[in-house]
Chains A and B, each alone.
Chain A
């Protein structure tokens, strides 16, 4: 991705997505600003994953348009587009036959970086994601869930993409590890300032990590609010979500709110 183009960094213009008879997304309109962490919050099946995949064009809209950095996705070179977007998923999807270093260095290698530069970048990323250097030669099956997801994040950041798509990345982790990774994500984001679209069904996580929260329900974007507004919102869907989380949300846990 080249020089910044004014306007939203990622934009959905009236996007619908159908599979066979199922209307997965309807009239979806959304603007993501440069450098923000937009959280898509919603129950499972509400269309969050589909929305992410429309951004890196793993899926194409049935109608409407998705724009990334001033270019209509439809017109973009799909490989260039994807290499400029980091993608982190809950299942991580590390290559089981590649060691950690090769997994992290995947996109730089595809991009033809010289070997020494790739090696330096891998060291840098291991440190950035809180992984010990000796992990580099291990294989994914020799890692804990938390380590695997750190490698997943490192791999996504490797070629320095401006956009990061994260699909419930911490959803499969135990609460303590999840807490660590959320905290580190915030610290990382503070220094890197990526444009992040982060999917979760966990309200706490949304409040903690998001600069804005887009609430999805049945393939629609119901409302989009800052974390503090979200908690006070009178929108029935937002209120229902807050209520479903029961106990008053611990204010310490919403430290990501500004």
Chain B
């Protein structure tokens, strides 16, 4: 339990790194939702695009994260600051689960419900806002939850390019061959992932349509 001692002795720093970590994950998830939900809505209504969009997001996810950070490093404005770069990379990784769940959530809605809404004279935007999004919301949130859990883990690697976060402790511990330092980064990251998983899971249940 010496990592607890380490955390206590360095709580200021651990706290700061945790906040940095949350910042990386939060901002990238926000951007991913901002891009991914509209894209998911788009391909749910234009099935002709679904294969290419989902395929692209899928390919991005298969790029090893360290390589993706490396590829983005020479990009002008981005490469200036490691956190920008990390947020972009994490955003790209978070896209797939969010797009996919938005798409399946909307496509999974009972066709009779959408058709009766349309048949009674709802406009497409009324259908989207009053029917499709509310009914797909718990599935969309479950995509966000997956994205957050993945990002919390991936964000530890962002420390390799100097973007900060709890990964810094992990890399430092590795260099020092000191398990308690590694754990001081890894355990808070795991706790963050579990908390996010649990919290968003609760929200999902509350929004479950009957």
Cross-chain contact A93 with B112 (CB below 8 angstroms): yes
Check if B119 sits within 8 Å of A58, measured CB to CB: yes
Task: Choose from B113, B121, B126, B209 the contact partner of A93 (Cβ within 8 Å).
Answer: B113
Q: Are B116 and A92 in contact (CB under 8 A)?
A: yes
Separation in Å of the B6 CB from the closest CB of chain A?
Answer: 49
Binds B, one of A14-22, A62-70, A76-84, A242-250: A76-84
Q: Looking at the complex, which one of B115, B118, B210 makes contact with A139 (CB distance below 8 Å)?
A: B210
Q: Are the CB atoms of B115 and A97 closer together than 8 Å?
A: no
Q: Which of A223-252 contact B (CB under 8 A)?
A: none
Q: Which residues of A in the span 74-117 have a Cβ within 8 Å of any Cβ on B?
A: 79-83, 85-87, 89, 91-97, 106-107, 110
Judged by a CB distance under 8 angstroms, whether A72 is at the interface is no
* Residues of chain B lying within 8 A (CB to CB) of residue A152: 116
| Cα distance A165–B116 in the bound complex, in angstroms | 11
CB distance from A10 to the nearest CB of B (A): 15
Instruction: Given A79-B123, A110-B122, answer yes or no on A93-B210 (Cβ-Cβ < 8 Å).
Output: no
Chain A: number of interface residues, binned into ranges: 20 to 34
CB-based contact B134/A56 at 8 Å: no
Q: Which residues of B contact A79 (CB under 8 A)?
A: 121, 123
A92 engages B112 (CB within 8 Å): yes
- In the assembled complex, the Cα of A81 lies from the Cα of B120 at a distance in Å of 9
A155-208 interface with B by 8 A CB criterion = 155-156, 165
Q: Is B122 in contact with A97, judged by CB distance below 8 angstroms?
A: no
Q: Of A53, A92, A93, A156, which contacts B117 at CB under 8 A? A: A93
Which B-chain residue is minimally distant from A106 (CB atoms)? B120
Contact partners of A106 in chain B: CB under 8 A = 117, 120, 122
CA distance A106 to B113 in the complex (A): 13
> Would you call B112 and A91 a contact (CB within 8 A)?
yes
CB neighbours (8 Å) of A94 from chain B are: 113, 116
Residues of A within 8 A of B131 (CB): 95
Q: Are A82's CB and B120's CB within 8 A?
A: yes
Contact B118 A58 (CB under 8 A): yes
Q: Is the CB of B135 within 8 A of A97?
A: yes
Q: Name the CB-closest residue of B to A82.
A: B121
- For A142, the closest partner residue in chain B by CB is B210
- State A56–B115 Cα separation when bound (angstroms): 11
User: In the assembled complex, which residues on chain B have CB atoms less than 8 Å from the CB atom of A107?
Assistant: 120-121
A81, A83, A93, A141: the one within 8 Å of B116 (CB): A93
Which A residues lie within 8 Å of B113 (CB)?
A: 93-96
Closest partner residue, chain A, to B123 (CB atom) = A79
B126 touches A110 (CB 8 A): yes
Chain B residues, CB < 8 A from A141:
210
Q: Which of B110, B120, B130 contacts A83 (CB 8 A)?
A: B120
Of residues 84 through 113 on chain B, the ones whose CB sits less than 8 Å from some CB of chain A are 110, 112-113
Which residue from chain A places its CB closest to the CB of B131 in the assembled complex?
A95
Contacts of B130 in A (CB 8 A): 95
A97 and B116 contact, CB distance less than 8 A: no
The distance in angstroms between the C-alpha atoms of A82 and B120, with both chains bound, is 5
Also in contact, A58 and B115, with CB within 8 A (given A96-B209, A96-B210): yes
Binary A-proximity of B178-210 (CB < 8 A = 1, otherwise 0) = 000000000000000000000000000000011
Interface contact B119-A82, CB-CB below 8 Å: yes
Add 17 more A-B contacts to A93-B116, A93-B117 (CB < 8 A).
A58-B119, A80-B121, A82-B118, A82-B120, A91-B112, A92-B116, A93-B110, A93-B112, A94-B113, A96-B110, A97-B209, A110-B120, A110-B122, A139-B210, A141-B210, A152-B116, A155-B120
Closest 7 CB pairs of A and B: A93-B116, A82-B121, A83-B121, A91-B112, A93-B112, A87-B119, A97-B209
10 contacts between A and B (CB under 8 A): A56-B119, A82-B119, A82-B120, A83-B121, A95-B131, A96-B210, A97-B135, A110-B121, A139-B210, A156-B120
